Structure 1
Amino acid sequence: MAALPYADADSSLRALAGRAEGFGRFAVGGLHGPLYCVTTLADDGPGSLRDGCRKKEPLWIVFEVSGTIHLSSYLNVSSYKTIDGRGRQIKLTGKGLRLKDCEHVIICNLKFEGGRGHDVDGIQIKPNSRHIWIDRCSLRDYDDGLIDITRQSTDITVSRCHFAQHDKTMLIGADPSHIGDRCIRVTIHHCFFDGTRQRHPRLRFGKVHLYNNYTRNWGIYAVCASVESQIFSQCNIYEAGQKKKTFEYYTEKAADKQEAKSGLIRSEGDLFLNGAQSCLLNGIGEECVFHASEYYPIWTMEAASDSLRAVLQVCTGWQSVPRPQDQVAIA
């Protein structure tokens, strides 16, 4: 049986804080704040999710209700918040979450489905946000992206999420004019990209570590490296459908450079199935891609295998797990 990371993070409510792997590992969310209980599915007002997220103090937000919250506008999340959906089934629809100029946010065990409107993403992280962890969420069917990370937002981990029924899945770095995005660093691990069309992710400028993800039946490509980006793809499973191209390279010109460049991908221990093409960019520059060990000492990873593929199909996305008991809040 494949091993999953942070297996004991559900032992108590706040054991989740600081347990992310990778670039988002310092995210503590609302660890040092009181519980805030969501008691209504209303879009706003006392006891609503929006009301809790706008408060300035640290909060660990939990739900006393299950059901669908229809967002009429983006829901802005302020710093030092944990939105913890364990123990309930909460679906957000209409619009999505926006993490703007914030830090230390954890989003766990929610469903995002049916976001409508121009530039509507499931989770939009911009600008200047950092120390973010998105864990065990199910995301599908938004009019724009499912998760977008842009405008100098960095130190982010996305783990054990399930992505489905979507086109432009995950964009990291929005535009070649945004040269400040060279600071972006994201870890994506143990996620299941389930027949989504493209962008798993598409990256500009930054650094992304992908490991132990399962991507199948994409519609254009699996992973794309564009201007100056570096992708370290390690022990992932790429299972092609009709389209076989796993790695794509788009050439763009940074606003402060004269020469257009694509990005670079290093593939190590990846498993390519059903004719998925494993070729890199003529073998050029792979040695120039960062190694995760330059930034963090350990991460929970195993060889890409059939057993890992089976586990990722059932242990990603929203999970029917009880809400852990809360121990004495840490002062």
Structure 2
Amino acid sequence: MTTLPYGDVDLSVRALAGKAEGFGRFAIGGLNGPVFHVTTLTDDGPGSLRDACRRKEPLWIVFDVSGTIQLSSYLSVSSYKTIDGRGQRIKLTGKGLRLKECEHIIICNLEFEGGRGHDVDGIQIKPNSKHIWIDRCSLRDYDDGLIDITRQSTDITISRCYFAQHDKTMLIGADPSHVGDRCIRVTIHHCFFDGTRQRQPRVRFGKVHLYNNYTRNWGIYAVCASVEAEVYSQCNIYEAGQKKKTFEYYVEKAADKEAARAGIIRSEGDLFLNGAQMSSLAATGEECTTFHPSEYYPAWTLEPASDSLKAIVQLCVGWQSIPRPADIIGNSTAGK
């Protein structure tokens, strides 16, 4: 029987705080602040999501409405915020969220679709942001990335998210000149990459733990490790379409090094289907040694890669029609 992680977090509103697995496990979001009720779908003004996200105090943000919020510009999220879409169906479109120099952010149960413009990502995390958990979100069809993590942002977990209808899905580390990105640490688990073309993810410099994800029908490659990246791929399902290359290695030169090199992907317990080609050796021939997640966190919910895991991942990812936990009353602030 397949066990899902953090299965008890919907029993109460604030039970999400601190329940992430992996590198983002310390994210508490707005745990220590009041509940903010979003009461309008307008882009700005009293009771709007933008109004809540710009406030400096901790807030647990919930929605009293369902529908689409058309963002005219990036929506910047300040520290100690939970954006909790449980109980409603909220879609963000036009632009995306920007997590800039912030910490302790939880984003749960939202849809992102149709972001337009140069450098427009669904969720852009840069610079110097940390302790972030993105959970049960659906993301598709942005002009740039769906989630980008760059410029020394770290300690991030992405879980149970659905990615579709997109090219450059997830970038972790943007440029070989950004040597400070050696600090980046990201966990991605129980996510479904459904026909996205590339970057599931593409990694420079950072340490990335992938486990129990299902990636199918990619257009170029599934996962890419370039300059100094260390990717630990554990019990994932890679199901090829026309393109069979699962792992890609791009050789680049870090700005402070003499020699160019690729990254390393270590595959353990992964399932390769429909002719998916597995090579876990870096193109430059370095030994296939990466970090091990147990060096950083003691436990994570891991299942063998199997047909049953494939089925449950497809059911449990992305926006979910789940009720808002009942204990929302009390310690609340109206969106005004």
TM-score with structure 2 setting the length: 0.96
Give the secondary structure class of the aligned counterpart of 1:113.
strand
Matched with 1:322 is: 323
Mapped contact 2:182–2:205 kept (Cα < 8 A): yes
- 1:251 and 2:228 aligned: no
Distance across 2 between alignment mates of 1:120 and 1:320: 27
Whichever residue aligns with residue 109 of structure 2, its letter is N
CA deviation profile, 1:227-265 (whole Å, cap 9, x unmatched): 000000000000000000000000000011111010001
SS in 1 for 2:51: helix
Distance 2:288 2:251 in 1: 19
In the TM superposition, residue 282 of structure 1 has moved relative to its aligned partner by 6.2
SS across alignment from 2:327:
coil
CA displacement, residues 101-131 of structure 1 (integer Å, 9 cap, x when unaligned):
0000000000000000000000000000000
Q: Which residue of 2 aligns with 1:292?
A: 293
Task: Please list every run of 5 or more consecutive structure 2 residues that lacks an aligned counterpart in the other structure.
Answer: 332-336
Match of 2:103 in 1: 103
Q: Is the 8 A contact 2:195 2:217 kept in 1?
A: yes
Is 1:69–2:51 an aligned residue pair? no
Query: Is the Cα contact below 8 Å between 2:263 and 2:282 reproduced in 1?
Result: no
Q: CA deviation at 1:325?
A: 2.2
Is the 2:119–2:144 Cα contact (8 Å) retained in structure 1? Answer: yes
Which residue matches 1:156?
156
Deviation by residue 1:179-224 (Cα, 9 ceiling, x = unmatched): 0000000000000000000000000000000000000000000000
1:83 maps to what in 2?
Answer: 83
> Contact conserved, 1:152 with 1:181, CA < 8 A, in 2?
yes
Deviation per CA, 1:255-285: give whole Å up to 9, x if none. 1111101000110000000000012226954
Question: d(CA) in 1 for partners of 2:134 and 2:303?
Answer: 21
For 1:187 and 1:325, the matched residues in 2 are separated by 30
Contact map agreement 1:27 1:106 (CA 8 A) in 2: yes
Q: How does 1:1-331 map to 2 (within 5 A)?
A: 1-281=1-281, 284-285=285-286, 287-326=288-327
1:326 partner SS: helix
Matched to 2:306, the amino acid is S
**Residue by residue, what CA displacement relative to the aligned partner does 1:259-313 show, whole Å, maximum 9, x if unpaired?**
1010001100000000000122269545420000000000001100000001111
Task: Write the letter of the residue equivalent to 2:121.
Answer: D
2:77 & 2:282 partners in 1: Cα distance?
43
Asked if structure 1 preserves the Cα contact closer than 8 Å seen for 2:282 and 2:288, the reply is: no
Which residue identity is paired with 1:324? P
Equivalent-residue separation in structure 2 for 1:2 and 1:117 (angstroms): 40
Which residue identity lines up with residue 313 of structure 2 in the other structure? L
One-letter code of the match for 1:251?
Answer: V
Equivalent residues of 1:266, 1:286 under 8 A apart: no
Q: What is the alpha-carbon distance in structure 1 between the residues aligned to residue 282 and residue 117 of structure 2?
A: 40
Report how many aligned residue pairs link the two structures. 330
Q: What is the percentage of aligned positions where both structures have the same residue?
A: 81
Amino acid at match of 2:237: I
Distance 1:280 1:25 in 2: 28
Displacement over 3 Å in runs of 4+: 282-287
**Aligned-residue CA RMSD in angstroms?**
1.3
Partner of 2:334: none
Distance 2:282 2:97 in 1: 39
Secondary structure at the residue paired with 1:156?
Answer: strand
* Higher deviation after alignment, 286-295 or 299-308: 286-295
Structure 1 residue 323: Cα displacement: 0.4
Paired AA for residue 134 in structure 1: I
- Give the drift of 1:5: 0.1
TM-score (norm 1): 0.98
